[in-house]
Each structure stands twice: as C-alpha cells, then as structure tokens.
C-alpha cells in the first residue's frame, strides 16, 4: 500500500530533557523520523522541551515547539495546530505516556487526531502489566508468576504468595525507575511504596525473581501488511537482575544455540503480530542457561534505547523505517541501500556496547547495579571477533585502561560487595585507649563506613570519650550504629547522598536505639546527627567541639 494521502500534518512528540534511560538515542531516532516524514511530503510539527538536541534544529521539522511535555501544553498545541495525526512512539516512554493521557482525556477524539504507528490498544496491552500478562497467557508464552498490586497491602500479600525474593516492576516508567529486587518484607515495603509513587497509574507488578538467567533482546519490525522481520538480536553479558541499559551487550548473540535463537525469534514475532504493532518493537527474554526454559520479560512497543544500538550495529535505520510504516507504507516499498526494508540484516562482525557510569562525578551515589538504570551514556565498538570488539569498547570508555584488568579492583572481595571502588581502601584503624589509668578495652572492628576520631587530651574527661563518624550506605548499617553506642562511644551520623527513604529509616531505627539506652540524639545540620550514650553529655557548640579533635588526615565528610 502506498503512503497515505488523507493526512497532511503530523505532530511528533519528542523525549524531552535528557534523563537516565532516555537521552541521545531518542534524539538520533527522532531526527531520522522527522526527516523521513518530510521526505514523503508531510508537514511535521515537533514538540520537545530539550534545546540541546539536533532534533529541535529549525531544518529538521517544519515547526518546533519548545514547551514542557505534559498533558496541558501538548493538548493546547494540538488544539492550536490541529494536526491530522500524532506520532508518539519516537519519544520513548515520555511520548507513549503522553499519547495514553491524551487518548484517555478525550483530547485526540475532540480534535479528530489519529495515533500513527502502534495504536492505543497495543500500547495499553504492552505497557499495562495485567493486560500484558493476559496476552502472554493467551498465546501460550511463558510468563513468571506475578500479581498486580495497586496498594501496599495487596503487594505484600502477592509477595508472600509468590515467595521471596521478588522483583517490582512499576507500570509506565522509564529505565526501570522505581523497580528492583526485594529479599524480605522489610525491604519490600520500602521499595513498594516508592514504586507506587513513581508509576503514573499507581500500578506495580510483583514478580518472581529469576536472577542469573540469560537476558536476550530482539529488535523486530512489522508493517500493516503483517510482514514481520527480526532486525537484530542482542545478548546481555550481565545476567537478569542488571538493567539492560547498564549491562555489557553484544550483537549478535554469542552463546545461543540455533534452537534457542529460533525459539526466541518465533516468540518475538508472535508477540508483535498479536499486538499488531506497526513499526519497531523491542522484546526482552530471560533464558535459563541450563535448559530451554525461557520467560517473556517485557515488550517496548516503541523505538527504545536498544533500538538505537540495534540500528547502528546492523546498519538498518529503524526509526526511519518505523516513521514510513506509520504513514501506511509497507516494508517492501521502503528502499534501504538498494534493498527493500523487508530483508533481514545479517551481521558478520561483533558489536559490543559498554555503559558509562557517572560514579566518578557522583561519589556518594549507590553504585550497586540492579533493575533501575544508572548509566548516563554508553560506547559501542565493532570488531571482527568478540575479543577485538570488547577491547575496543573498553578503550573507548576513557577510564585509563585498555584491557579488562584494573588495579583498583585488586582489593575487592566477595565479603565487601558494597565497597566503593572509586576511593582507596582505608586502613582499618584500631582504637587506642588514651587514658592510661583505666584498663584497655577490647578493640572494636572497624569498617570502611566508620572513622574513629581521637579527642585531644585537654578535651578528654575521666574515662575519655571516643567518637566515630559513620556514613551508612544501606539500612543494614543501622545495626553498626547501635553496636557502636552500646560500646559507650559517641556516633556522628552522616546521611548525605543517601536515598531519602533509606536515610529516614536509618534515623528512625537509630532514634529507637537511642531511646532504649537513654541516650541523646541531636540534629546538627540537614545531613549530620550526633548520637551519644547515656554516660556522655555534650553541651555548647558542637562544631567548635569537633574542631578540638585531632582529625588531620581523616575524611569526616563535614
């Protein structure tokens, strides 16, 4: 079928500001799409609130609106411009969410605006966790035991029925925001509250954890004629449990047998046909490395972050083809380098993607990788072999190494999984007894989170005073604070850089411990607290007191 002639003006929704999980890849895709639509003679109106993109250049679209990407402003622009159709699938999750809101509020119906490409029903079935589960079950596709929860009580009930550990997946969120693994009820309650708050529809999928499975992605394409092809398949070197945006990814897959490859390919094509997606689509699988058992993890009915990687890796312009499919063209009508777009690309080389993390700039950020994306960029390298491609990617990271060995990891052990590698490992300090008149106490084991501070002799009263600066990294560190207080030592608590909810839990726990031993807790600043046992009484200005301690060479983070 040739391109549609009943539409003339198309509104393209961009991805907005650069955030984790949604950045330059959508600028790349959106620019391709706008140029492809103009190439076919359509008037393109673009709304995108990010001026630092090529997409918002004046020669990419006919008209550009630099306005906030929310329901109010987009609705106002639609009523003013009166486009014949909107194309939301190129603006990442932001574009899809806006399209859903516009449809539900009746703005599209009011202005007689059509959604191009993937229709509203397909978006709902792919993004809504309950509808997606029903879809998979109807097709006979294996899905993990899961329950939909819309409040804390239902979520906890579901987690107990499924059995811990569980993974939380908020609906309609970007980059795994709000998701993660919960190993027990205490951890679950904190994560569930956060996930419900971050989901636009306040809906969270509580799912059985399958950490350790292989994670495989397929980038597929379909047109209105039901022609569906696989553009590229990618294999995450990191197992399930690490967000694909943070994982090392290779294309094509390196460890799949032909049976596994064809099995997952057939599943991906079955899904895209059932959803009736028109354009690009990303399908994620979890595969048991010891059997042929697999589970369908997620379907992104849009051009995704992985689409940009697949497009560059294969040379197939996914966004350009998706845009032309959205206006009625079929794959066999779209030329790509003198070849119809209906031909599946073949890779006779290896592509490796490695994420670039911002932990060198955000030293206090939690660097434990999980289902929530933390990378702020990535590099891609092409090589004739896996080894060549991998080492090229490592060099491209510009982190001071050109191979897989890094000296800073020499001190790492499995007993210290949360150690921050950006900092040199501190020597363990054994506290000394500075009062010669009293018997020596048993030295207390010190960790990287505890910095003992030795008071000067003029500040030391009878029996002396020992102060420890503790900078926790998780809720589990609250126990260390309590144990320090029970040793009759004063604690300076520094919660700077911690997640607000985690910090609040630590402070609540510490307050309870302090009350139990009749101690005292004082707030010094927004991040600094001083906790003293019952035997210690601090009066006057705390900061002047701290100045009296001999803290030279000790990082206190004050």
The domain spans of the chain are 9-116, 145-209, 213-425, 450-547
Contact between residue 172 and residue 201 where contact means Cβ atoms under 8 Å apart: yes
pLDDT at 465: 59
Q: For the residues of 218-287, what is the DSSP string, one character each?
A: EEEEE-TT--EEEEEEEEESS-TTS-TTTS-EEES-SS--HHHHHHHHHHHHHHHHHHT--EEEEEEEEE
Q: Tell how strand 335-336 and strand 520-523 pair up.
A: unpaired
Residue range 450-547 forms a domain whose CATH class is alpha beta
Distances (CA, A) of 480 to 182, 225, 421, 471: 22, 63, 21, 10
Distance between CA 29 and CA 321 in Å, rounded?
A: 10
Q: Tell how strand 43-47 and strand 114-115 pair up.
A: unpaired
Which contiguous run of DSSP H or E holds residue 26? helix 24-39
Which contiguous run of DSSP H or E holds residue 339? strand 339-340
Distances (CA, A) of 429 to 155, 453, 554: 44, 10, 11
Across the strands, what pairs with 468? 452, 491
Distance between CA 88 and CA 292 in Å, rounded?
A: 36
pLDDT at 555: 41
Residue range 145-209 forms a domain whose CATH class is alpha beta
pLDDT at 418: 46
Same fold for the domain at 9-116 and the one at 145-209?
no
pLDDT per residue, tens digit, the chain (558 aa), is: 578 888 999 999 888 877 766 656 777 888 888 999 999 999 999 998 888 788 888 888 999 998 888 899 999 999 999 999 998 877 777 788 888 889 889 999 999 999 887 777 877 788 777 788 888 888 888 888 888 888 988 999 999 998 888 888 888 776 567 788 888 888 898 889 888 888 888 888 888 888 889 999 999 999 989 999 999 999 999 988 888 888 999 999 999 999 999 999 999 999 999 988 888 888 999 999 988 999 988 888 877 778 888 888 999 999 899 999 989 899 999 998 888 999 999 899 999 999 988 887 777 777 888 777 888 788 999 999 999 999 999 999 888 888 888 777 777 666 554 444 444 433 333 333 334 443 444 444 445 555 555 444 444 443 455 788 888 888 778 888 888 888 888 888 888 888 887 888 888 788 777 877 778 888 877 788 888 887 776 655 444 445 544 443 334 443
pLDDT at 445: 45
Q: Which fold has domain 213-425?
A: D-amino Acid Aminotransferase; Chain A, domain 1 (3.30.470)
Distance between CA 91 and CA 303 in Å, rounded?
A: 8
Sign of CA dihedral 132, 133, 138, 143: positive
pTM of the model: 0.66
What is the phi/psi pair of residue 87, to 5°? -120, 100
Contact between residue 373 and residue 246 where contact means Cβ atoms under 8 Å apart: yes
pLDDT at 214: 94
CATH of domain 9-116: 3.40.50.20
């Amino acid at each position: 079928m040739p391109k549609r002639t009943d539409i003339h003006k198309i509104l393209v929704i961009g991805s907005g500001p650069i955030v984790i999980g949604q950045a330059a890849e959508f600028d790349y895709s959106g620019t391709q799409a706008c140029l492809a639509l103009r190439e076919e003679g359509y008037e393109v109106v673009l709304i995108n609130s990010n001026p630092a993109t090529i997409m918002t250049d004046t020669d990419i679209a006919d008209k550009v609106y630099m306005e906030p990407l929310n329901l109010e402003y987009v609705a106002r622009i639609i009523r003013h411009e009166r486009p014949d159709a909107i194309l939301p699938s190129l603006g990442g999750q932001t574009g899809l969410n806006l399209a859903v809101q516009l449809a539900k509020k009746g703005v599209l119906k009011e202005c007689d605006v059509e959604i191009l490409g993937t229709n509203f029903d397909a978006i709902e079935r792919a993004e809504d966790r309950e509808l997606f589960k029903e879809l998979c079950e109807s097709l006979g596709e294996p899905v993990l035991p899961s329950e939909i929860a819309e409040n804390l009580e239902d979520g906890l009930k579901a987690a107990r029925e499924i059995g811990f550990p569980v993974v939380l997946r908020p609906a309609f969120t970007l980059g795994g925001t709000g998701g993660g693994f919960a190993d027990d009820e205490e951890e679950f309650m904190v994560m569930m509250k956060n996930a419900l708050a971050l989901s636009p529809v306040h809906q969270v999928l509580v799912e059985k954890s399958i950490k350790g499975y292989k994670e495989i992605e397929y980038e597929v394409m379909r047109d209105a004629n039901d022609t569906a092809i696989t553009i590229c398949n990618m294999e995450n070197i990191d197992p399930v449990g690490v967000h694909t945006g943070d994982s090392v990814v290779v294309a094509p897959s390196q460890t799949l047998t032909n049976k596994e490859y064809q099995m997952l390919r057939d599943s991906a094509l079955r899904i895209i046909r059932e959803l009736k997606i028109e354009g690009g689509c990303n399908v994620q699988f979890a595969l048991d490395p010891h059997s042929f058992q697999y589970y369908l993890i997620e379907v992104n009915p849009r051009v995704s972050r992985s689409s940009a990687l697949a497009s560059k890796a294969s040379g197939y312009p996914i966004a350009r083809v998706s845009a032309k499919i959205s206006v009625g063209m079929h794959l066999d009508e779209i030329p790509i380098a003198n070849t119809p777009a209906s031909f599946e690309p073949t890779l006779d080389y290896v592509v490796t993607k490695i994420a670039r993390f911002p932990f060198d700039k955000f030293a206090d950020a939690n660097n434990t990788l999980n289902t929530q994306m933390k990378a702020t960029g990535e590099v891609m390298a092409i090589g004739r072999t896996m080894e060549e491609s991998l080492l090229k990617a490592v060099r491209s990271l510009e982190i001071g190494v050109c191979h897989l060995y890094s000296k800073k990891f020499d001190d790492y052990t499995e007993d210290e999984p949360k150690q921050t590698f950006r900092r040199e490992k501190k020597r363990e300090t054994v506290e000394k007894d500075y009062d010669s008149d009293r018997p020596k106490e048993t030295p207390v084991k010190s960790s990287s989170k505890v910095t003992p501070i030795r008071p000067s002799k003029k500040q030391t009263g009878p029996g002396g005073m020992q102060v420890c600066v503790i900078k926790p990294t998780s809720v589990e560190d609250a126990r260390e604070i309590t144990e320090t207080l029970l040793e009759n030592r004063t604690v300076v608590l520094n919660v700077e850089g911690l997640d607000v909810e985690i910090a609040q839990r630590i402070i609540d726990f510490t307050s309870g411990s302090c009350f139990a031993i009749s101690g005292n807790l004082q707030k010094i600043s927004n991040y600094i607290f001083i906790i003293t046992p019952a035997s210690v009484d601090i009066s006057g200005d705390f900061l002047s007191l701290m100045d009296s301690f001999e803290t030279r060479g000790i990082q206190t983070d004050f």
